[in-house]
Structure 1
């Protein structure tokens, strides 16, 4: 079904304006209010000359304003660009430059990060600031943006120019309307990365996403896929169809949480939002039950394990109205699934997907008896051998997973990487994320692993080259290698082995401060080993399998997140 999210959302908002669209523990945003605030933000962007095809960056944790901004951008052909709120100033600056964002939306709690990111930057974007409590100061990038900008408690600024900073409350109070239908050519840009550690935005055509997501929208809700936009709008507005109430416990900056929440609104459902940058499993469990959540979005064991522990602590019989759980991009172990199935009648959908395309396969379980389950290929997914031939129908066929359905346009501003990641095979465009699998010949596969060195820790991708560069930039460190070691909760732990100079004395606290200024907390090594040599081969290679096997028994996840243990 071809169509546009904005068209469905607008139709639902006009049909059932009082229905809850976004709910937090403190407030309810109806579909009518969502439409009105999206119209106001769209008007603000037009007045400041932001054109279709240009970008608005959102440095936000899950908040109602996130949904409003996404709606406004998609409806006007402006590209929304979610950014990782855990990033430090240099990382934020790099993404703002790469995305060429005209506007940055961020909360006051991140003022210090934004201040440092835009310091001495004449071409810094305009800012829309959401007051979430703590005040901060934004220094003028240069004389062209003169005037000290001090954030006050009511969300306003003392500005040298009204065109550079605006308070979100003032923006939405100004009113405005969305266009009746979006202009053609709109995009959604989701940042992912590569083995070089340099993030790249995957560009999805706004008109394509709805077709790609049809399986996730309707099949997982037990509904037939509509054949037209009129049918989709009728389904969303029909009061006889039970409403989906989704609680994303992974961040909107991740494709699964973002798309599933967008899909919930296509069904006329409600998105529950815990407006906090920190995951509190006990609060999340209470909110899920009290707000009547029917669907949870998690990031494998990293979220599902502490959440089920909270359910057990609370002594809950069942888990309210929750009947489904969706996870993607992170190890979700049979042991943790078993605990969930033992507590409630929940269907667990464990997806293998990537920002670049898919989903490729799904492991769906409905009870303890289904475990461990099977990874079943989804329509459009194939297994390609070394000769790029389909082998998914052959028992024992070994190759790389690929997808050849509707795909993104490619990577923003990187044609070379686009051609490499989205090859045309026999006249058909594919995407191959690098996952190797063995086919069983019955539509299921056994996943062998990813052929790259990317570390997946708690659902976050960490690219070793970026961490290694930060390590060797520290005085006294002359060599470094970074890799992942298995961990039951987080999937993998970031681990580093470094070599220091012959007379160097490692100042552990200074190293921690050095890395903290350059890397998000989840990127920092949880375990760091100091050695005399990495025993590189004549070609400069490190025997990673040997190192991983040697160090795996010495590491564990008992250290608090963001800490680093240094051992010699």
Structure 2
């Protein structure tokens, strides 16, 4: 099937009563969703927000949030979803200021906590605003854009604005391999967070014409129940939730057409178990807060375990060290040359990801982790190799006191337990690193961000005192 452009307004014209978003007891049709999106745009314009202005929001993922996202994309605003807990910190206000946020939209009035550097409105206030002649149907000169806060796994979160498209909003190119469209079943959003890796597949599915079912309370059993109840054809699971499903051994009776995962490294043992559970439908991606860079199918991954795939059309991945391009197989800094349409002139031609890795002879990318110095590159390689060990579900290697590596390893414990410590010590010796201190933990027990990444900054504070443990 050839790709074709589609948008929610097209779904509303052809099937206005089709369910658009379902979250717990909230449900909205496509007809009502686009009507609400247009009303929000009228309200923003009536309150004086100019074309291209950025609006932040802490609306929970559900009908109101997706209406605002569509309003921003179609009517030319920037949208910065930000967690209310992050907003309550002093850092939250500076994040809004860094992207010149013009207004904040919330489900309820802003009370308590620090003041925000912009007016705060509720979505109900905006949809009730009289337009005073403002025509929300007038197409803006360019589509809106999204702004995301980084996860802050290694430091403080930062606001990253995606490049604004040069043309009016046209929807998305509906591609068969993504399992979305008006003829497909719902997309199950099991990570209802604002991270691009978790929000992106849901927003894509909604624009393509699929119903989006938001699972706000996580458990593997509820995930399987929702997938069966709504006969979901696609889902997104961060690696930690994929691990939860594998550990529980619960797969829906209704078979997914595609299960997306990304946002953090997925140990091969977990992914192989997930393939056994769901079938060959896993679709992994790697990217930054500015967009997806690579993708890999199950068949490709089984032939190259640990790879995150090849770059999407129009995107180039460059591996360099000290500014010098490296050949296939050599580890260095991962740089991205985005498509022209996705490039912000202020960012330059090459986007530095902060990650290190290598490509193979066929252009498949392998990401080891984040590093700057040669020693950090070896540390990232150690972490990567730990994830390849049997029974390991996640790992983080940090420099502890006296430059002693501290390896936090989530590992299955049971009758088939294989002690990973000897293999870790042997790998460290091969990489000319000091003998590491290994801290074993149960799967899912280490601190994580809402998007599923290990909180390295928190682990770093534990590195000096954490004992060996199983």
TM-score (norm 2): 0.71
Partner Cα separation in structure 2 for residue 490 and residue 36 of structure 1: 44
Q: 1:238-387 maps to which residues of 2 (within 5 A)?
A: 242-274=183-215, 276=216, 278-300=217-239, 302-312=240-250, 318-359=252-293, 361-366=294-299, 372=305, 374-378=307-311, 379=313, 380-386=315-321
Aligned residues: 404
Partner Cα separation in structure 2 for residue 363 and residue 256 of structure 1: 15
* Correspondence for 1:17: 16
Alpha-carbon deviations, 1:312-334, whole Å to 9, x = none?
3xxx5x54142211112211122
* 1:67 Cα deviation after fit: 0.5
Pair 1:189–1:45, CA change in 2 (3 A)? same
Alpha-carbon deviations, 1:401-453, whole Å to 9, x = none?
3332326454xxxxxxx86xx44xxxxx2223133333321222433332259
Partner Cα separation in structure 1 for residue 319 and residue 169 of structure 2: 27
CA contact (8 A) 1:56 1:78 kept: yes
Stretches of structure 1 that go unaligned for 5 or more consecutive residues are 129-167, 224-235, 411-417, 424-428, 454-482, 499-524, 527-544
**Aligned: 1:103 with 2:99:** no
* Correspondence for 1:536: none
Partner Cα separation in structure 1 for residue 223 and residue 434 of structure 2: 35
Pair 1:326–1:266, CA change in 2 (3 A)? same
Stretches of structure 2 that go unaligned for 5 or more consecutive residues are 374-382, 403-407, 410-430, 449-457
Specify which of 406, 410, 429 is matched with residue 339 of structure 2. 406
Specify which of 163, 169, 189 is matched with residue 147 of structure 2. 189
* 1:273 Cα deviation after fit: 1.4
**Aligned: 1:396 with 2:329:** yes
Partner Cα separation in structure 1 for residue 432 and residue 58 of structure 2: 39
* 1:218 Cα deviation after fit: 1.1
**Aligned: 1:117 with 2:114:** yes
* Correspondence for 1:178: 136
Query: What is the aligned-residue RMSD (CA, Å)?
Result: 4.2
Give the secondary structure class of the aligned counterpart of 1:287.
helix
* 1:553 Cα deviation after fit: 3.0
Partner Cα separation in structure 1 for residue 38 and residue 170 of structure 2: 25
* 1:297 Cα deviation after fit: 1.0
* Correspondence for 1:146: none
Give the secondary structure class of the aligned counterpart of 1:307.
helix
Specify which of 548, 552, 557 is matched with residue 438 of structure 2. 552
Structure with the greater alpha carbon radius of gyration: 1
Partner Cα separation in structure 1 for residue 267 and residue 443 of structure 2: 16
Partner Cα separation in structure 2 for residue 342 and residue 221 of structure 1: 20
Q: 1:132-147 maps to which residues of 2 (within 5 A)?
A: none
Give the secondary structure class of the aligned counterpart of 1:117.
coil
Partner Cα separation in structure 2 for residue 377 and residue 41 of structure 1: 39
* Correspondence for 2:363: 443
Pair 1:49–1:84, CA change in 2 (3 A)? same
Give the secondary structure class of the aligned counterpart of 1:434.
strand
Pair 1:551–1:207, CA change in 2 (3 A)? farther
